[in-house]
Chain A
Amino acid sequence: EAGVAQSPRYKIIEKRQSVAFWCNPISGHATLYWYQQILGQGPKLLIQFQNNGVVDDSQLPKDRFSAERLKGVDSTLKIQPAKLEDSAVYLCASSLVSYRDTQYFGPGTRLTVL
């Protein structure tokens, strides 16, 4: 079974530029999560989708971050404009149906904002 796919794996941009990350969850998984992991810390949930509806985006900085999950499968996370403090690893995870199910993580995208 293929795991969660993410691209790109690495991205370097200058502040005020925009960037987008892509995630393809495990086939059949209804729930998709985006996490931000700052160096030396645990993952922090940014947004959770169930199918193509948003379940929780309370910690998403909506003035600069946006995310969508078209057709309930792939998802993109965008940052515009980026700030220095956005430097982190952005992890995508998916689970079969709901919070009760195991979350499987992708390899992440390491973002560096200069």
Chain B
Amino acid sequence: GENVEQHPSTLSVQEGDSAVIKCTYSDSASNYFPWYKQELGKGPQLIIDIRSNVGEKKDQRIAVTLNKTAKHFSLHITETQPEDSAVYFCAAHTGANSKLTFGKGITLSVRP
């Protein structure tokens, strides 16, 4: 089955700096890659996603890049703000008759 790994496990940045979170996946058939943000006491919330026919996608301060050859994808957050502090999960999906497989999450801390 699919295996998704995230690194690093924690990341601390200064407010205003950029943050980059990387994920690798094992199944070359995976074709959908969402990123979720989870705040304390809440369920995960989708912040951006990308499908395998696209190399990059951007939404305001957030962008995701996908390298299918290397089987990794990254979340980029620019101009970080304290409210960006949360746990971020990447996930991968191989399509029909498969499930969404999550990484272990990374805790992002933005220092004011």
Contacts and interface: CB of A to CB of B under 8 A. Distances in A.
Contact of B100 (A41, A55, A99, A107): A99
Contacts of B93: 99
Nearest to A98: B96
Interface string B23-58: 000000000101010000111111001000000000
A72 interface: no
B98 interface: yes
A102 B98 contact: no
Query: Contact residue range for chain B?
Result: 20 to 34
Interface in B69-90: 89
B19 interface: no
B7 interface: no
B104 interface: yes
A99 B95 contact: yes
Contacts of A99: 32, 93, 95-96, 98-100
Interface of A: 4, 40-45, 48, 55-56, 59, 91, 93, 98-100, 102-108
Interface of B: 4, 32, 34, 36, 41-46, 49, 89, 91, 93, 95-100, 102-105
Nearest to B46: A102
A104 B100 CA distance: 13
B99 A108 contact: no
A108 B102 contact: no
Contact of B91 (A42, A100, A106): A42
A107 B42 contact: yes
Nearest to A91: B43
A103 B95 contact: no
Given A102-B46, A105-B44, A45 B100 contact: yes
A40 B98 CA distance: 24
A93 B95 CA distance: 18
